[in-house]
Amino acid sequence: MRGLHLIFDGNNTSYRANAVTELYTKQGERTSAIIGTLNITHATMENLTKELKMPIKEVIYAWDMGHSPRRTSVFPEYKGNRKKTFTPEDSEWMEEFIHQANVLHENLPMLGIKSYRKKGWEGDDIVLGIVEEIDRKSPEDISVIISTDEDFHQLISPSTHVYSPIKKILFTLDNYKELTGIDHENFLTYKILKGDSSDGIPGIPGIGEKTAKTLVNTYGSLDTLLEAGEELKKSKRTAKIFTHEGLSILDRNNKLINLRDYVDLSEIQEDISELLEDEPVVDEKATKAFLMRYQLTSILVKFKSWIEVFSEAVDNFYE
């Protein structure tokens, strides 16, 4: 049976959920990320089943567990923008978030959801490994990456889509240019030129989103753009691409952002293969106890209908 494999960016999903609401148990234990992540997962499963008119066969969460040593060796300041000085309140918020992320990773399997992380590995790289393994094992199926992280757009293919749970937009090869204003094949060039502020990766000085889009729409790939050096050097702004600094930035950003060409998956390949072979099970008794433990009454009152979405996905896995 042809179906969907939903791959959630765990940190992206739970972090955003934790920032949206202020929910605590009566004992003062924060639950914003926990209930938010469960609600996002449930709603996304329902939405994508309807939009793509295909059954869900598998749900997987991929988590960050530290920064990539390879990326920090290429660029020591990688994600350095996140190492700001926290106030005591900021530190407490982050500690509460990390605790909830750990709780989710450990307990999502009771809903038939697979969850994976490995020390020194980022979720982006794990998602790459999962998508490639699904393509090998189930080429007729569709993988959908759920994240607001633009980096995943490079993985879009005939068998892989990216879904933003905030905007409720599904990015595919067919609608990519309509939604973004650039051809999908030029996404990496666009990203390498402008950098990634969320990860603290600077782009070419003076080249932001608008200019980067204009460049890739005019010249296409990075190779073609570099071949147009004589023309682009006439502009003070685009001439910066061809300086020693500019060319070094392009090379560095390609190594940091480009997943398929620079991520060596050999260390986790066996883990991912086993993860996809794992047989999911929904444990209703354990799930009810978990919901009661964290006082998630809004889910408990509709538990019978709520759990059906997860049970159906598990049933589809075995068909």
Residues of the chain with CATH 3.40.50.1010: 4-176+264-314
Query: What are the residues whose beta carbons fall under 8 Å from the beta carbon of 179, sequence distance 6 or more?
Result: 169, 171
H or E element at residue 143: strand 142-146
How confident is the model at residue 66, as a pLDDT?
Answer: 87
Report the predicted TM-score, pTM, of the whole model to 2 decimal places: 0.95
List the chain pLDDT tens, one digit each, 319 residues. Answer: 899 999 999 999 999 999 999 999 999 999 999 999 999 999 999 999 999 999 999 999 999 998 899 999 999 888 876 656 678 888 899 999 999 999 999 999 999 999 999 999 999 999 999 999 999 999 999 999 999 999 999 999 999 999 999 999 999 999 999 999 999 999 999 999 999 988 899 999 999 999 999 999 999 999 999 999 999 999 999 999 999 999 999 999 999 999 999 999 999 999 999 999 999 999 999 999 999 999 999 999 999 999 999 999 999 999 8
- Helix, strand, coil percent values for the chain (each to nearest 5): 60, 10, 30
Q: In CATH terms, is domain 184-259 a member of 1.20.1260.10?
A: no
pLDDT digits (tens, 9 = 90+) for 53-110: 999 999 999 999 988 999 999 998 888 766 566 788 888 999 999 999 999 999 999 9
Tell which residue, 255, 18, 15, 252, has the closest CA to residue 123.
Answer: 15
Residues of the chain with CATH 1.10.150.20: 184-259
| Structure-token pair, residue 166 | 């905030």
How confident is the model at residue 81, as a pLDDT?
Answer: 64
Q: In CATH terms, is domain 4-176+264-314 a member of 3.40.1190.10?
A: no
Q: How far is the CA of 133 from the CAs of 111, 142, 265, 294, 319, in angstroms?
A: 22, 12, 11, 35, 19
How confident is the model at residue 246, as a pLDDT?
Answer: 96
How confident is the model at residue 83, as a pLDDT?
Answer: 57
Q: At which residue do the structure tokens 């390609």 appear?
A: 254
d(CA 92, CA 295): 21
Whether the CB-CB separation of 14 and 33 falls below 8 Å is answered with: yes
pLDDT digits (tens, 9 = 90+) for 112-132: 999 999 999 999 999 999 999
* 318 three-class SS: coil
